[in-house]
């Protein structure tokens, strides 16, 4: 349901005034009258309320390395990366919109059922992926396809999952597009249910801490949007990971919109980062459109996770340039010009390209060659995926229970087999649908154990 436009478009001055109210900080007396028993809380005589985590310094600062023109800001620590590694980062950033362009249009043609783009969030996704160990456990929301690509999942595997064909190893065609999973790449299967991955990640981190082979070696990292942070699961996960505790990085992609709800209506305080200190965890807010800043921030967050054995919160400030999904038209609740302005002024891909060009690491010729290569690779994978049939229909009943097939599942499978035998070739819609399966439905009647 869309909110009325008048409740979404708050005047800028009103929004700023509201945010300032949420960051007022009183000056407590310097000389306290002892400490509250069983705590480190100083006792004071003056009645004062507080509403800030910054000590009266205004809003939480945002960490940045490169400005919008790709120039390092004064005092910034540039990560030590080679020209070759910079190329790898940039190629993966460019791969995401190439994939998005093709698969978004493929969905519009009715060849896949659903898709979600990552336009505008490339630096947050690829920068964080690059800062993690390849065997750190990742629990994504639904825009983290780039993490899998960085880890070598491959374009063909992405296409196979989106088409649900016989090469789909994520879910054998039983999941919606964009719901990837790969034990080999330490990427837990994505769930549509909002925020469920957050407390699960805290549990995964705790399991890693209890494993002698992975303790002090690996962490869990969970991705979610600022909208998901309004769910109770966010607070449950933060509480678990900070008190049990567990080495889990909570990475909030604050892209400005929870579907149609702008962040100005999503929370009253100073973003998601303001919540970290409430749970006693180290927290940072980073410019999510600056890939070098994201790399530095997530790398340090990972180090702190391993060192302390407890949670770290990272809030990446970015902007969702694309629609929420193929089920959404974002121009119903935001202006088209607003989006175009962001694309021109604060494009994460352009920012990193300008940085590489300033170092003599990139040229216009290389740009053209890369874009042509990526488009060719993606189109080849698309054509291959489109040509394949789906898994056997009998796979509908596998991977649910271990061991012998239970009676209730066997009963359902046999019922479907009977219907297929009676109507499968007699009714054209069923006949056409069955032709898309590798076994044409003929193996459903056999044992699934």
Q: With a cut of 80, say whether residue 182 has pLDDT above it.
A: yes
What pLDDT digit, counting tens, does each position of 74-84 carry?
Answer: 999 999 999 99
Kindly indicate the confidence band of residue 45, based on its pLDDT and cuts at 50, 70 and 90.
confident
The pLDDT assigned to 14 comes to 40
Mean of the pLDDT values across residues 417-427?
A: 94
Kindly indicate the confidence band of residue 11, based on its pLDDT and cuts at 50, 70 and 90.
very low
Rounding to the nearest 10 degrees, give the CA dihedral for residues 324, 330, 332, 334. Answer: 130
* C-alpha pair distances (Å), 253 with each of 57, 316, 430: 24, 5, 43
Determine what percent of the chain falls in helix, strand and coil, rounding each to the nearest 5: 45, 10, 45
Q: With a cut of 60, say whether residue 30 has pLDDT above it.
A: no
Lowest-pLDDT range of 36-40, 308-312, 316-320: 36-40
Q: With a cut of 70, say whether residue 9 has pLDDT above it.
A: no
Is residue 115 exposed (0-12), middle (13-18) or buried (19+ Cβ within 10 Å)?
buried
Cα 382 to Cα 410: distance, rounded to the nearest angstrom: 36
E strand map for 95-235: 137-139, 187-188, 220-225
Q: With a cut of 90, say whether residue 52 has pLDDT above it.
A: no
Mean of the pLDDT values across residues 343-363?
A: 97
The pLDDT assigned to 20 comes to 42
- The answer to whether residues 248 and 204 touch, using CB atoms and an 8 Å cutoff, is yes
Annotate 94-112 with DSSP letters as a single string.
HHHHHHHHHHHHHHHTTSS
Question: Beta partners for 250?
Answer: 222, 313
What pLDDT digit, counting tens, does each position of 136-164 carry?
Answer: 999 999 999 999 999 999 999 999 999 99
Q: With a cut of 80, say whether residue 2 has pLDDT above it.
A: no
Mean of the pLDDT values across residues 81-109?
A: 98
**Locus of tokens 């205004």:** 58
- The region, left, alpha or beta by phi > 0 then psi within -120 to 50, assigned to residue 349 is alpha
The pLDDT assigned to 29 comes to 59
Q: With a cut of 70, say whether residue 16 has pLDDT above it.
A: no
The pLDDT assigned to 44 comes to 85
Kindly indicate the confidence band of residue 400, based on its pLDDT and cuts at 50, 70 and 90.
confident
């Amino acid at each position: 349901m869309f909110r009325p436009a008048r409740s979404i478009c708050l005047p800028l001055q009103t929004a700023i005034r509201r945010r300032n109210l949420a960051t007022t900080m009183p000056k407590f007396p310097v000389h306290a009258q002892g400490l509250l028993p069983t705590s480190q809380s100083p006792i004071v005589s003056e009645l004062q309320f507080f509403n800030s985590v910054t000590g009266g310094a205004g809003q939480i600062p945002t960490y940045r390395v490169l400005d919008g023109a790709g120039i390092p800001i004064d005092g910034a620590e540039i990560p030590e990366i080679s020209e070759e590694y910079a190329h790898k980062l940039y190629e993966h950033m460019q791969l995401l919109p190439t994939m998005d362009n093709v698969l978004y249009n493929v969905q519009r043609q009715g060849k896949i059922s659903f898709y979600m783009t990552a336009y505008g969030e490339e630096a947050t996704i690829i920068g964080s992926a690059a800062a993690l160990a390849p065997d750190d456990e990742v629990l994504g929301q639904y825009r983290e396809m780039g993490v899998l690509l960085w880890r070598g999942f491959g374009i063909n595997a992405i296409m196979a999952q989106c088409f649900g064909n016989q090469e789909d190893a994520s879910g054998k065609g039983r999941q919606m597009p964009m719901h990837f999973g790969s034990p080999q790449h330490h990427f837990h299967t994505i769930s549509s249910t909002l925020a469920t991955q957050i407390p699960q990640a805290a549990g995964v981190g705790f399991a890693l801490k209890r494993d002698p082979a992975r303790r002090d070696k690996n962490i869990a990292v969970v991705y979610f949007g600022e909208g998901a942070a309004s769910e109770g699961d966010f607070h449950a996960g933060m509480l678990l990971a900070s008190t049990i505790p567990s080495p889990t990085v909570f990475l909030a992609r604050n892209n400005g919109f929870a579907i149609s709800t702008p962040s100005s209506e999503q929370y009253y305080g100073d973003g998601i980062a303001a919540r970290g200190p409430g749970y006693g965890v180290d927290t940072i807010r980073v410019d999510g459109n600056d890939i070098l800043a994201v790399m530095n921030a997530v790398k340090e967050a990972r180090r702190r996770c391993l060192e302390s054995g407890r949670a770290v919160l990272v809030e990446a400030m970015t902007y969702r340039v694309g629609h929420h999904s193929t089920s959404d038209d974002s121009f119903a609740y935001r202006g088209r010009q607003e989006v175009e302005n962001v694309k021109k002024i604060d494009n994460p891909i352009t920012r990193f390209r300008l940085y590489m060009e300033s170092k003599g690491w990139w040229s216009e010729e290389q740009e053209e060659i890369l874009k042509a290569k990526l488009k060719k690779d993606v189109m080849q994978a698309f054509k291959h995926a489109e040509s394949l049939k789906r898994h056997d229909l009998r796979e509908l009943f596998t991977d649910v229970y271990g061991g012998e097939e239970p009676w209730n599942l066997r009963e359902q499978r046999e019922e479907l087999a009977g219907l297929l035998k009676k109507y499968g070739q007699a009714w054209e819609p069923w006949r056409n649908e069955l032709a898309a399966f590798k076994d044409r439905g003929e193996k459903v009647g056999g044992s699934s154990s």
